[in-house]
Every structure is written in C-alpha cells, then in structure tokens.
Amino acid sequence: MLNKMIQIGKEVARQIAISFFFASLLFVMIHFFFSEKINTYLSLINMMTIVEKQVEKQETKFDSIEKRLVNYPSWGSIWATIKIPDIGVEAPVYHGDTLDIIKYGVGHYSGSYFPGEGGTIILAAHNSKQHFMYLPKLKEGAEVIIEASYGTFTYRLIDTKIIGEKEMDSLPVQTEKEILMMYTCYPVNTIGHKTKRYAVYLELVGENHEN
C-alpha cells in the first residue's frame, strides 16, 4: 500500500513538473515573440482611460524688456498648448509635473524657465500616444511649437539622450541659452516602473509675442 502511494505521488509530481515546464515554455515564447505588441496595447488601453482635466487656460503676460513673465500661472493650471506636428501631438501644458498633473497632459517643471525667458524649459509627459510615446521617432530638425497667451515659440530638435531615472534630479537648468527639454519614460512601449528616460533637446528658432 505504501509503495503504491509513493508511486502515485511520484506520478502526480511528474505530471505537475511536465505541466510547469510547458507552461513556462509557452510564457517564454509569448514574451519573446509578442511582448512588444502586448506592452504597447496595454499602454494604449491604460492611457485611453485618461481624460483631459477641465481647466481653463490661464492668461499670462510677458515683459519683453525684462525677458520674463509678469504673472506666473498657478500650480496645476494650463498655461500653454504644445504641438509636435511630426508625431501628431497637440496637448495642454500644465504648470507642475507631478504624477497627478501629468495624468492629464504635459507637465512643466516649476524649477525651469518659461518660453521667452532665455533659459532651460523642462517638460515631462507619460509615454502615451497622445503625449510623448513617439518622442523617439523625432529626427534632428523636427519642430515643436508652444502656444501661450503671450506668444508662440518654435523650437528645433538638436539632440536626444537616454538618461537614468536618478540623473533627472541633477539636470542643470542653464540661463545662457533657451533650450527646450522634453522627456518621458523609456522604453516608451512598456508600462509599469521604468528606470530610464528618453529626452529630446531643442533650440529656440522663432518667437512671436502677442503683447
């Protein structure tokens, strides 16, 4: 009786081992051949649930002599629209770049400059289709347009980088030249926590002030 129970136990263990092996093999095959598409679809589904936060665009005025804003937008308000023609993006720009804010659009790092002020402007957004998912598709020379109530500013791409997550806190904000930096999570076709960021750098090539 004992021997029979041992044999039955061994047979059950063998069946479990075989099932586990084939399940693992199937998982590896699916991951190898379809992981990119699956991650892309999951990312798109996740981002489809995000709707634009209903906030009126805040009017801001610019001092052309001092080269700075007269009044700065309040935290979490929309102060501009960003357009990236080459990847079909047109999205609101919010003041602030917390996770709560960038659920709805592009976030502006409050420690950086505003268009026209002559320093580094830093914008962040999720790797969603309507925001920065296709940043890696931008080529040198691609243009980005920021439309604020006080003017329209055009930037041209000059460089791209992949940056570590921890490096973002030490990025320099320069004052010598107006540079627009935009970044998102990398790789862009995945969801969940990522330790890298894809960044693009653009120089100011045109500005048209409204006041």
Quick one: 57 exposed, middle or buried, by C-beta within 10 A (0-12, 13-18, 19+)?
Answer: middle
Residue 168's φ and ψ, nearest 5 degrees, are: -60, -35
- Per annotation, catalytic residue among 95, 185, 193, 209: 185
Nearest one of 137, 133, 153 to 202, comparing CA atoms = 153
Cα 151 from Cα 136, distance rounded (Å): 27
126 carries an active-site annotation: yes
Cα 146 from Cα 93, distance rounded (Å): 9
- Per annotation, catalytic residue among 126, 131, 193, 209: 126
| Residue 57 CB partners (closer than 8 Å, separation 6+) | 77, 78, 79, 80, 81, 92, 149
31 carries an active-site annotation: no
List active site positions: 126, 185
